[in-house]
Amino acid sequence: MYKKIVTIGGGSGQYVLLSGLRDLENIGITAVVSMVDSGGSTGRLRDEYGVLPPGDILKCVLALSPNREAARNILHKRFNGESRLKGHNAGNMLLTILSQYAGNFPDGVKALGEALDIKGAVLPVTTDKATLAAELTDGSFLYGEAAIDIPRGDQREKIKRTFLIPHHSSSTNVHPPVINAIEEADYIIIGPGDLYTSITPNFLVSGVKEAIAGTKAKLIYNVNIMTKFGETDNFTGKDFILKLEQFIGRKVDTAVFNSAKPEEEILKQYESQKARLVEFNEDNFWEGRSIIKADLLSAAGDIARHDGKKLADLINNLINE
């Protein structure tokens, strides 16, 4: 039976998820993407041209393309030399040009999707420009996704709350097609991805949390494999779920955990970055939530991340039970 799936997130986590989902049959995919990225090429384009950040959107468009590898090799190519193009990648520049020529960012994204023959749709969660900010437990504030994402120094207070600072209005409002997708969805898949900088900024946009509360769709949360210094220090699986549920205003229906352990050498690398394997808590907290544990670990490279095909196969079995 045909199922409508909405994914919500940003960054490399959503790229991995969509790369796997793209090859499943009898599903319609709509990727909802965070619009607060402020680092690297994306941040420069945002600051210099006032455009919405293209980086995470580009990842999602590439993930859903049948020509993903070839397109990725071309569009992720960074310019060298001493011109203003230095450091930008071709995909970010192309998406910026398409958006300006089309007259708006969503139409630019749609045009790039058509050019790459993507399976599904990619939507910015908002077309309003905003800056992500965080208040820490010591009362200090951080401004910008990049500042929150990459801590300075060896210690940082915990994040107390995050919020959006609109650039040109009193609020940051949801892109209307996102509401339609959420209302029509059979399943909403959240994560994997950095909790405070890739996932939950979507729910800070006015209208998204309300739509999530009203949808009949089942909510699936792919819990991260590793914690992250400055964001989720010492978080257990329970902590991840409780924090997400604070943002969405309801329980998740299913939480998906990786059960495989990365190699010790990889864990040591993460330990040097003050990150560790997310633990699963065996207690009575899970009432009302379905818990799935499976080997979802990618065997490629020296990063502890989800394997897109393993994750997609698990989700395929879940939605077709």
Q: pLDDT tens digits for 5-39?
A: 999 999 899 999 999 999 999 999 999 999 987 66
Structure tokens at 74: 């071309």
Per the domain annotation, does 254 fall within a domain? no
* pLDDT reading at 49 higher than 80: no
What is the rounded average pLDDT of the residues 246-263? Answer: 95
Per the domain annotation, does 226 fall within a domain? no
The single-letter code of the amino acid at 97 is I
What is the rounded average pLDDT of the residues 125-129? Answer: 95
Task: Determine what percent of the chain is predicted with pLDDT higher than 90.
Answer: 70
What is the rounded average pLDDT of the residues 303-314? Answer: 95
Assign 294 to helix, strand or coil.
strand
pLDDT at position 284: 66
Strand order in the sheet with 290-294: 121-124, 27-33, 3-9, 187-190, 218-222, 254-258, 290-294
pTM (2 decimals)?
0.93
Banded pLDDT at 218 (limits 50, 70, 90):
very high
pLDDT at position 79: 72
pLDDT at position 91: 84
pLDDT at position 11: 86
pLDDT at position 24: 95
Domain around 87: 36-124
Per the domain annotation, does 65 fall within a domain? yes
Rounded distance between C-alpha atoms, residue 300 and residue 44, angstroms = 31
pLDDT at position 51: 67
* pLDDT reading at 154 higher than 80: no
Per the domain annotation, does 170 fall within a domain? no
Banded pLDDT at 3 (limits 50, 70, 90):
very high
DSSP sequence for 45-61:
HHHHH-PPP-HHHHHHH
Per the domain annotation, does 168 fall within a domain? no
Banded pLDDT at 107 (limits 50, 70, 90):
very high
pLDDT at position 1: 84
Largest Cα–Cα distance of the chain, in whole Å?
59
pLDDT at position 243: 96
Per the domain annotation, does 81 fall within a domain? yes
In contact, 268 and 311? CB cutoff 8 Å: no
Structure tokens at 112: 């790039």
Per the domain annotation, does 15 fall within a domain? no
Lowest-confidence range among 110-114, 143-147, 197-201? 143-147
* pLDDT reading at 68 higher than 90: no
Which ranges constitute the DSSP H helices of 165-280? Answer: 176-184, 208-214, 237-248, 264-272
Per the domain annotation, does 75 fall within a domain? yes
What is the rounded average pLDDT of the residues 167-184? Answer: 94
* pLDDT reading at 281 higher than 80: no
Rounded distance between C-alpha atoms, residue 226 and residue 144, angstroms = 23
Q: How many domains does the chain have?
A: 1
pLDDT at position 15: 94
